[in-house]
Amino acid sequence: MARPKIALIGAGQIGGTLAHIAAQKELGDVILFDIAEGVPQGKALDLAQCGPVEGFDVALKGANSYEDIAGADVCIVTAGVPRKPGMSRDDLLGINLKVMKSVGEGIAKYAPNAFVICITNPLDAMVWALREFSGLPHEKVVGMAGVLDSARFRHFLSLEFGVSMRDVSAFVLGGHGDTMVPLTRYSTVGGINLPDLVAMGWTTQEKLDAIVQRTRDGGAEIVGLLKTGSAFYAPAASAIEMAEAYLKDQKRVLPAAAYVKGAYGLDGMYVGVPTVIGAGGIERVVEIKLNDEEKAMLDKSIDAVKGLVAACKGIDSSLA
Q: Which residues bind ligand A3D (CB under 6 A)?
A: 9-15, 34-36, 39, 78-83, 92, 96, 99, 102-103, 119-121, 123, 144-145, 148, 176, 229-232, 235
CB nearer to ligand A3D: give 99 or 111: 99
Residue 243 marked in a binding site: no
Q: How far is the CB of 173 from ligand A3D (least distance, A)?
A: 15
How many Cα atoms sit within 13 Å of 267 on the Cβ side? Answer: 2
- Find the shortest distance in angstroms from Cβ 243 to ligand A3D: 15
Q: Tell which residue, 79, 88, 82, has the closest CA to residue 217.
A: 88
State the Cα torsion 158-161-162-164 to the nearest 10°. -40
- Residue 193, annotated as binding a ligand: no
Helix H or strand E segment including 286: none
In the complex, the smallest distance separating the C-beta of residue 101 from ligand A3D, rounded to whole angstroms, is 9
Terminal Cα distance for the chain, rounded = 43
Which residues, 6+ apart, have CB-to-CB distance to 98 below 8 Å? none
Of 124 and 197, which CB lies nearer to ligand A3D in the complex structure?
124
* Closer of 211 and 231 to ligand A3D (Cβ): 231
**Residue in the shown chain whose Cβ atom is closest to ligand A3D:** 12
Residues in CB range of 17: below 8 A, 6 or more apart: 232, 233, 236, 237
**H or E segment and range at residue 300:** helix 292-315
CB of 64 to ligand A3D, least distance (A): 9
Q: Which one, 39 or 163, has the nearer CB to ligand A3D?
A: 39
Question: Is 13 part of any known ligand binding site?
Answer: yes
- 104 annotated among ligand-binding-site residues: no
Bridge-based pairing state of the strands 252-261 and 267-278: antiparallel
Q: Is 215 annotated as a binding residue?
A: no
Q: Which CB, 13 or 41, lies closer to ligand A3D?
A: 13
The reply to whether 11 sits in an annotated binding site is: yes
| Catalytic residue check, 138 | no
Residue pair 93/81 in contact by the 8 Å Cβ criterion: no
In the DSSP assignment, the letter for residue 85 is T
* Active-site residue (options: 20, 138, 155, 176): 176
* Distance (Å, whole) CA 257 – CA 121: 12
- Residues with Cβ < 8 Å from 264, sequence gap 6 or more? 271, 273, 287, 298, 302
Rounded to a whole number of angstroms, the minimum distance from the CB of residue 30 to ligand A3D is 15
Q: Residues within the annotated binding site?
A: 10-15, 34, 83, 89, 96, 119-121, 152
Which residues are part of the catalytic machinery?
A: 176
Q: Residues within the annotated binding site for NAD(+)?
A: 10-15, 34, 96, 119-121
